[in-house]
Amino acid sequence: MSDQQKWSDGRIKGQNRLRLVLMGFTLCFMVITGRLVQLSIVNGMFKVEQKQASHESRLPRPDIVDRNGVVLASDLKVASLYANPSKIIDIDEAIELITSVFPSLDVAVLRKRLSNRKKKFVWLKREISPAQRDALYDLGVPGIYFRNETVRVYPNGRLAAHVLGYVDVDSRGLAGIEKYLDDQGALYTASLADPARQAALPAQLALDSRVEFAMSDEIAKAVEHFKAKAGAGIVMNVHTGEVVSMVSLPDFDPAYPKEAQNKRAINRITTGVYELGSVIKAVTFAMAFEAGVMNLKSRYDARAPLVIGRAKIHDFHAQRRILTVPEVFLHSSNIGTARMALDVGLEGHQDFLRKAGMFDKLKAELPGAAAPILPRKWGKLTTVTAAFGHGFAIQPLQGARVIVALMNGGILLPPTFLKRGREAAEGLGTRLVSKDTSDKMRYLFRLNATEGTARKADGLAMGYRLGGKTGTAEKVVNGRYSKDHRLNTFVGAFPMEDPQYVILLMLDEPKAVPGTFGYATSGWNAVPTAGKVVARIAPLLGIMPKLSDADRAKLAKKHMKKAEVH
């Protein structure tokens, strides 16, 4: 091979090596460049997105619907106004244009926010109308932007306010079922939020909005008619423990949470505790039946006040004779009921109340449940007064829950504001009393509606076979019980031959009005109100009236009186 040929081959090999080196450098440069691009651009974009996302404080919430699918709470898309101060060219001009559309904005606050050039994002106004958005958009103010958000709406206004609760400006639940959903993790995290998925998974309540409206309407009428401070009521399914309706008046509009801060707008069913008075006598009767210390034929001496130490226990409607068990119930005898509790004994009495859940805070889905107020010491006098509902205070929901057990065959169920089937409830209950005791309590409830203090309810809910027990409890004012300040309660069930629902209704400090003959006790106000409620809601709940011959005779007599008037 010639020298020229050798030189040519070496040159070619050198060029090939140079190309390989250059290709290697190029490849390394591309890898490094790509990594730099990723770090500087992609990650930068990601950080921007994270920063942007931090302003997206509102997460989609699931709809809340009643047991029949009626929407009670839902999200609505709205626009909100924000600014990037670093992009504002002329602050004075921007303020002038913005306040021309939003005259209610504080100019001093607006100027302070727009003057902070270091900030890239400041809220100016949340939840603006489409017309306001369009008006400001057309003005073309530099540095002013809009962000799509959601606002919580309640299509039925104040209806079921205490059950639903409300949310804050960032759509976080602060009360009621709204807070419960947050606490249970029903809201998805920002990375998983899927409005379409949430729309398909509403939170379904046990509430029936038709029943809720009827009861709210009747309680509002009663509060006005009897000049009461407040009113409240609850309807529960005796087989499932579902709260079909819960009303507490005064209430509030969930869309305006500030109204809920009014002390008078508290939820009296779960966040208030009260002495329920003679309503608790039903619990004492059931306890005595269950303990075997009495039966329906037993008798109790009510000829004179019951003396315990220095205290004397009197009857409001004193009969001053020996009473049978049904008569003690019909005349709501404090003396007879106290003797039952004494027969059971102090320890037995406490054990039964503890078993009934009256010594513990009752928790359901609604936050803010109140704990019972119990006596510091439990002596003989405590047992006597507690037997007829004085000296300890509980949530009305607790009282209704125990009555549910006395009506459904003896099973104590955990109450729920969420829809729950009968099969699901069966495994959750515990036995409080026997079926025999439950049957006896049903008998006494119905007897009291036909012959006792609950007659006015039965007359207004004719054909629905209502039964129940009244309670008129004196309230504590300045450390003493006041005869002029009462909490009136009625608790009942219907239809009594096979109870399906329990109703508890309260009126706070009702007054005597024309037609009550100077009386302001439960039988004259809470009882007839409950009768009107049952007459309206029973058909909605699928319970049809069954008129007896006596009912037909009463109706005929009523029609005759109307005809005479006309």
What residues have CB less than 8 Å from 206, skipping those under 6 apart? Answer: 67, 237, 240, 242, 243, 244, 416, 417, 418, 419, 420
CA atoms of 164 and 176, how far apart (whole Å): 5
Q: How far apart are the first and last CA of the chain?
A: 141
Closest CA to 538 of 450, 465, 467, 489: 465
**How many CB atoms within 10 Å of residue 32?**
10
Active site residues: 278
Taking a C-beta distance cutoff of 8 angstroms, is the pair 301, 423 a contact? no
CA atoms of 103 and 124, how far apart (whole Å): 12
At CA 298, angle to CA 294 and CA 300, rounded to 5? 105
Chain position carrying tokens 């006005």: 224
Question: What token pair was written down for 2?
Answer: 């010639």
Closest CA to 370 of 389, 396, 388: 396
Taking a C-beta distance cutoff of 8 angstroms, is the pair 487, 509 a contact? yes
HSE, CB side, 13 Å, CA atoms: give it for residue 517.
2
CA atoms of 401 and 412, how far apart (whole Å): 7
Cα 343 to the chain's mean position, in Å?
Answer: 39
CA atoms of 189 and 194, how far apart (whole Å): 9
> Judging by DSSP bridges, how do beta strands 243-249 and 230-237 pair with one another?
antiparallel
